[in-house]
Amino acid sequence: MRDPISFIRLEYEDLVQSDLDWRIKVLDGSSTPWSIVNGKKVMMLCSNNYLGLSNHPHLKEMAIEAVRTHGAGSGSVRPIAGTMDVHVELERRLAKFKDAEASLVYQTGFAANAGLIPQLAGKGDLIVSDELNHGSIIDGVRLSAADRAVYKHCDMNDLDRILAESERHAPAYRRILIITDGVFSMDGDIAPVDVISRLAAEHGAMLYVDDAHGEGVLGEGGRGIVSHFHLGRNDVHVEMGTFSKAFGVVGGHVSGSEDLKNFALNKSRTWLLSGSHPPAVAAACIGAIDVLENEPHHVRNLWLRTDKFKKGLVQAGFDVGNSATPITPVMIGDSGKAKRFSDRLFEEGVFALPIVFPMVAKGKARIRTIMNAALTEEDLDLALERFERVGRELKIV
């Protein structure tokens, strides 16, 4: 008799043979600039914890106090009995921080994209998406019955062409939704959202920007992509983001009009049918907003460290692609060599993971580094020396 689940082992073995499997490492303790990973003290260069806020005293105090006053869990989904005053306060503070009419907090950033995108566009509509958009956007689009078109990465001529062709579609589309990442998570480049918003206006399209890697990084005081390009709320209709990166906690959210919030909370099944954040999580997210508003040096330090590290890699002969943010890929190409590079760095005390297919195209493997504001100048000098040493050893530079 045929084994109905034998394919699981066989496909995993194929991944191992192709150097495409993930080998999970475990942190012993908190995520800090120097962390204990698999029992070894290493410099952390692959965390999304850009500003080091996951271990900030104020966030921890806020979380602890919320447990004391509100308990360990919310007890329900948001629309039934799972909305606490701390969730409402978080949304109020976030909307103010983002200079938006309203914000809605989702359980994760993935849940925001998967829950809202298919509700904004369906049968009779068109979704136009950048070819390098995040997997959560891709899955959200797949859940929609809308027609879909993909434009070349950050190619505004191609986007304009698709939008012009869409206007000749018969029958006419009810709605057109353009979706792009603000910062592309594998390459660190920034979408030209100012141009995209102009094209959206010219063609009567909605614009949805996933700003997961822009919040806490770009814009005034880390307010994100809309602030970075000095755009208004009529320019970007949906600004989606997460608390799991520069904010140092976890969760997703969207910001925009009051109408958007009301629409999203009534239509997104990921929001309607998932338990709400424990009060400690919501309170820690409020704490992160406090820090961004009152301690601007974290964002400044992030960019100072980023500039130093990026310049050092280039001077050593590495290819860092088109990165314009603290996400700096070190392009390797071959998946096996990228994994060997990562393993050697780990042996040398630097934790920086390889990114391989399917997260990037085959032949585009890289070591993706992400800067942390709490690293010191001496830390970066050490990291650059180790990168150059291993790069020469593996004949990459």
Q: Which residues are catalytic?
A: 185, 213, 245
Q: How many residues does the chain have?
A: 397
Rounded to whole angstroms, the Cα distance separating 116 from 109 reads 11
Peptide bond into 4 cis (omega under 30): no
Rounded to whole angstroms, the Cα distance separating 58 from 60 reads 5
Q: Kindly report the CA angle at 317 between 312 and 318, in degrees rounded to 5?
A: 80
Tokens 């806490």 belong to which residue? 216
DSSP state of 46: S
Alpha helices in the chain (DSSP H): 6-17, 57-70, 85-98, 109-120, 135-142, 156-166, 193-202, 225-228, 258-267, 269-272, 279-294, 297-316, 335-347, 377-393
Burial (Cβ within 10 Å: 0-12, 13-18, ≥19) of residue 203: middle
Rounded to whole angstroms, the Cα distance separating 247 from 286 reads 9
Structure tokens of 229?
A: 């390009």
- 262-296: buried (b, 16+ CB within 10 Å) or exposed (e) per residue? ebbbeebebbeebebbbbbbbbbbbbbbbbbeeee
Structure tokens of 362?
A: 């085959």
Rounded to whole angstroms, the Cα distance separating 216 from 225 reads 10
Report the amino acid identity of residue 140: G
Rounded to whole angstroms, the Cα distance separating 188 from 354 reads 15
